[in-house]
Structure 1
Amino acid sequence: MQFLQTTMIRVAYAILLLLAVLVLNFSLMHLAPGDVADTISQSMGGADEEILNEIRRDYGLDRPFIVQLGTYIGKVLSFDLGYSFFYNQPVTKLILERLPATLLLVFSAQLLALVVGVVLGVYSARKPNGIVSHFVTLFALFGYSAPVFWTGILLLIGFSLHIQWFPVAGMRDVTIEGGFWIHFMDVARHLVLPMITLASIFFALYSRLARATMMETLGSDYVRTAKAKGLTNRQVVYKHALKNSLSPVITLAGLQFSAVVSGAVLVEAVFSWPGLGTLAFQSIIARDTPTILGILFFSALVVIVGNLLTDFALRLVDPRVGGKK
């Protein structure tokens, strides 16, 4: 009962936060210089003031700010994110077409970073003065300090241009014909380098945190008791200590989810990955305000939902979280 009540409260907070993000994004875009009419007139080679005013009336830009904001929020609540004047398509359709590619990249990079980071962190914690531990430390320092776009360019030069193991850009090869598994392997080959690039910075965070929490857990009283009962080192580490040391890592993964989504923009630009990042980049250049607002809304939605799921996962891993004191 308490879990259900806490969940409902968190969902309510998430809805309020999403509404605040909508208002903030719309206000910032409204304060930015220029509007849709200016962009359309530039693409037409220029227009007089009468045509500009007519364009603004068509898009409702001549109304007071509070009226525009209320209209926009009402449309968003009815799942209408507006119409892209640059792509000549509904924004919702554009986002839904690009969203799967971004979610594939983000979730695969997050999963890879978590698995590899936790495994390296736990292994180095078991032998804190070993070669593997020092390697993990150097690897974490490199991954955290290197800009994500620079890492992507290095991987492109090394594994796409010189060794030619992976494709240079895109998500799939349109010339390939075949069944499901052929196309699946083609997408997987295109995904490898962007996934590693996006996950590189989070390897460092998760491995260092997993190492620190595991070393602290291995020094606790209940672990010493488990060893005294005759349990093997593997049983102590993976059956008792690992579960309790995962809570901080899962919490950090939820907090870093927004960084993963924002980092995907740079990665998609480097690898020409057809996701929301590429769409956002093109929309900013074209000053396509409805599309930009729609992408910001979806990004906030993904981050908020990701944080909620992280909180639920944390409660499953450690039932003490959110329990009665």
Structure 2
Amino acid sequence: MSTYLTKRFVYMIVILIAASFLIFSLYALTPGDFISGNIKLSPERKAELREIYGLNKPLLERYGLWMKHAFQGDFGFSLAQQKPVLKLFNEYIWNSFLLAIVSTFLTWFIAVIVGVVAAYKQYSWFDTLVMIGIFAAMSIPSFFIGLYLIKILAVDLKWVPPGGMLTTGSNATGFAYYSEVLHHMLLPVIVLTLLGLGSLTRYFRSNMIEVIKQDYIRTARAKGLKEGKVLFTHALRNALLPAITLVGFELPALFGGSLITEKIFNWPGIGQLYIQSFSLRDYPLLVGFTMFIAILTVIGTLISDILYHIADPRVRL
């Protein structure tokens, strides 16, 4: 295990260095930036700022300086927000994490239960309704679902607030603060759960259909085991093995998958900040966030490989 982890760590470093150069180059070579697009600045002031921030230097020199600072924990300075990139991450990323972790838990929990029952009752009315719901969830865009739920639940029925994280002007503290946050996050969590539920439920359903046809499942039933124990103890464990590979993509998706949803519901997360940075051409922030997603992807892939080995020791690392 230690030898494997050492090799993977070396591979991770090489992959991240290559990814960092590609990410930095793509943004650096993109025409325009925050300074050149600011019409309030005079040409002399623009030239001065470009000199201060090193934007007039060659690409390789700029990349070398960025990597040097990155190894020291400095991913750059946001020109639009006038704050260090890591400081902005610390301010916004926990709001995104709150949405993502709750919606991910609900998505996997519901997908496992619905997928197992749909596979067990294949071709029944329940399975038919599940398949219709799956294709509907996969086909409808996130912005449409979000706006539709705002119209029905927030505007018409007034059950939940239409957006934001807190009520405007709120000074709530303690339990009242947490209650207010939970009330505001209901709609975005519902949308994120619906978006991920369709494909994941279909994945578990197809895996379970294959597993419950195996000989050892028939043997377990012949021994007189209860059907629930056969499905959720014997069959589900093997059906989960292919799904473990998805864990590697879940980690970066925690922060990168809610960009549009955060914008629709005006949720103060890193996704909304990322979208705003595009219109402002705030490339230091864009590079930092994209690099952060790359790091999460590499780490998530390593975690999924290790979990697969733990779940099935026959698989060699």
TM-score normalised by L of structure 1: 0.90
2:66 to 72, 94, 98: 72
**266-275 or 254-263: bigger deviation:** 254-263
Q: 1:139 aligns with which of 133, 137, 162?
A: 133
Alpha-carbon separation, structure 2, partners of 1:18 and 1:80: 16
Percent identity between matched residues is 32
Which amino acid letter does the alignment assign opposite residue 147 of structure 1?
P
Amino acid at match of 1:23: F
Instruction: State the distance in 1 between where 2:7 and 2:109 align.
Output: 31
2:286 to 280, 286, 292: 292
Deviation of the 1:111 alpha carbon = 1.8
The superposition leaves residues 103-134 of structure 1 with CA deviations (integer Å, 9 ceiling, x where unpaired) of 22222222221111111000111111222211
Does the 8 A contact of 1:198 with 1:260 survive in 2? no
Matched, 1:282 2:276: yes
Whether the 8 Å contact between 1:140 and 1:205 is mirrored in structure 2 is: yes
Q: Partner of 1:243 in structure 2? A: 237
Alpha-carbon distance between aligned partners in 2 of 1:178 and 1:286, rounded to the nearest angstrom: 33
Partner of 2:37: 39
Distance 1:146 1:261, change over 3 A: farther
CA RMSD of aligned residues (A): 2.0
From 15, 18, 29, the counterpart of 1:17: 15
Partner of 2:92, secondary structure, is: helix
**Is 2:263 the partner of 1:265?**
no
Match of 1:8 in 2: 6
Aligned counterparts of 1:118 and 1:43: Cα–Cα separation in 2:
55
1:182 aligns with 2:176: yes
- Once residues 268 and 235 of structure 1 are traced to their aligned partners in structure 2, the CA distance between those partners, rounded to angstroms, is 40
CA distance in 2, matches of 1:194, 1:55: 39
Question: Aligned match of 1:104 in 93, 98, 111?
Answer: 98
Q: Distance in 2 between matches of 1:194 and 1:62?
A: 42
How many residues are treated as equivalent by the alignment?
317
Report the alpha carbon displacement of residue 177 of structure 1 after superposing the two structures with TM: 5.0
**Displacement, 1:20?**
2.1
Is the 8 Å Cα contact of residues 268 and 274 (structure 1) preserved in structure 2? Answer: yes
Q: Is 160-169 or 138-147 further displaced after alignment?
A: 160-169
> What residue in structure 1 maps to residue 303 of structure 2?
309
Residue 106 and residue 17 in structure 1: after superposition, are their counterparts in 2 closer, same or farther (change >3 A)?
Answer: farther
5+ residue gaps, structure 2, are none
CA drift of 1:137 comes to: 0.4
Describe how 1:222-237 pairs up with structure 2 within 5 A: 222-237=216-231
Give distance in 2, aligned partners of 1:21 and 1:113.
30
- Map 1:135-214; keep pairs closer than 5 Å: 135-173=129-167, 175-176=169-170, 179-214=173-208
Q: Which amino acid aligns with 1:122?
A: V
| 1:217 equivalent in structure 2 | 211
Contact 1:143 1:201 in 2 (8 A): yes
Cα gap change, 1:272 to 1:134, in 2 (>3 Å): same
| Contact 1:209 1:248 (C-alpha < 8 Å) held by counterparts | no
165-174 or 241-250, which deviates more: 165-174
Q: Secondary structure at the match of 1:37?
A: coil
How far is the alpha carbon of 1:79 from its aligned partner? 0.8
CA distance in 1, matches of 2:7, 2:193: 32
- What does 1:74-89 align with in structure 2 at a 5 Å threshold? 74-89=68-83
* TM-score (norm: length of structure 2): 0.92
Aligned partner letter, 1:55: L
Could you say if the C-alpha distance between residues 185 and 315 of structure 1 is closer, same or farther in structure 2, counting changes exceeding 3 Å? farther
**What letter corresponds to residue 270 of structure 2 in structure 1?**
L
Match of 1:30 among 21, 28, 31: 28
1:174: Cα distance to partner?
5.5
The Cα shift of 1:68 comes to: 0.6
Give the aligned partner of residue 113 of structure 1: 107
Residue 112 and residue 278 in structure 1: after superposition, are their counterparts in 2 closer, same or farther (change >3 A)? same
- Gaps (5+ residues) in structure 1? none
Give 1:29 shift: 1.1
